[in-house]
Amino acid sequence: MGRWTQVRDVIQATPGGLKQRLRTWFFTGLVLVLPAVLTLYILWLFVRLVVGPLAPLLTHYVSPIVGPALAPVLATVLSILLTILGVTAVGMMAALFGRRLFLRLEGVFSRLPVVRAIYGPVRQLLDLFLRGEKRTQAVALARYPRADTYAVVFLTDRRPWRLTGPTGEEELVGAFLPTTPNPTSGFFVLIPRRDLIPLDLSVDEAIKIVVSGG
């Protein structure tokens, strides 16, 4: 109701002729449509990631049962359901049998030469996003890309990086700089600690800001 009330007030208060009203209505439509479009886009990326590996295999098995016309649709639905069930089962096993088994698996991954270079950062980034509401001081403003502009960043590495230069040693902080409207894409940056301004925001609140563009 709040969004619709704001839209109605803007339309009623718009002065000028038809050109001005059409322009206002266009941007009003963007305000209403864009959040839904971005949500559907993110869901589409998730479905594409999940369906890609499973759908062809499931299509092969369900096609003799439902026919070639319905097989791709059913395979897509089953792929999503199986993924949700699989993730839930992993969480249930962790809750029922403790974290010892998963800590051992993490230890195996962390010792593999190539895998550890990928697993560690991905694990850390997912932990930031999925459990970020309970973390404090994980969101900050950084002077980036210039000294007079700021960007929202997620602090991913608490260990300080040391850089020795002509002016002495400087302390850097590892951070993830997300892109809009998809906060799961971005890049890793090292930012001087003096150029960071901690924000009293949860990761969830910061993600909403990044997705909505402010």
CB neighbour list of residue 141: distance below 8 Å, 6 or more residues apart: 150, 151, 152, 153, 196, 197, 199
Arithmetic mean of pLDDT over the chain: 73
3-state secondary structure of 122: helix
What is the pLDDT, as a whole number, of residue 133? 46
Q: For residue 125, is pLDDT > 60?
A: yes
Q: Are 161 and 168 in contact (CB under 8 A)?
A: no
Mutual angle of helices 203-212 and 18-66, in 10-degree steps: 110
What is the pLDDT, as a whole number, of residue 136? 47
What is the pLDDT, as a whole number, of residue 54? 76
Tell me the CATH architecture of domain 136-212. Roll (2.30)
Sign of CA dihedral 41, 47, 175, 128: positive
Which of 149-153, 160-164, 190-194 has the lowest average pLDDT?
160-164
Q: Are 58 and 79 in contact (CB under 8 A)?
A: yes
Which of 52-56, 103-107, 124-128, 204-208 has the lowest average pLDDT?
124-128
Domain with CATH 2.30.30 in the chain: 136-212
Place 98 in a pLDDT band, splitting at 50, 70 and 90.
low
Q: For residue 134, is pLDDT > 80?
A: no
* Model confidence, pTM: 0.45
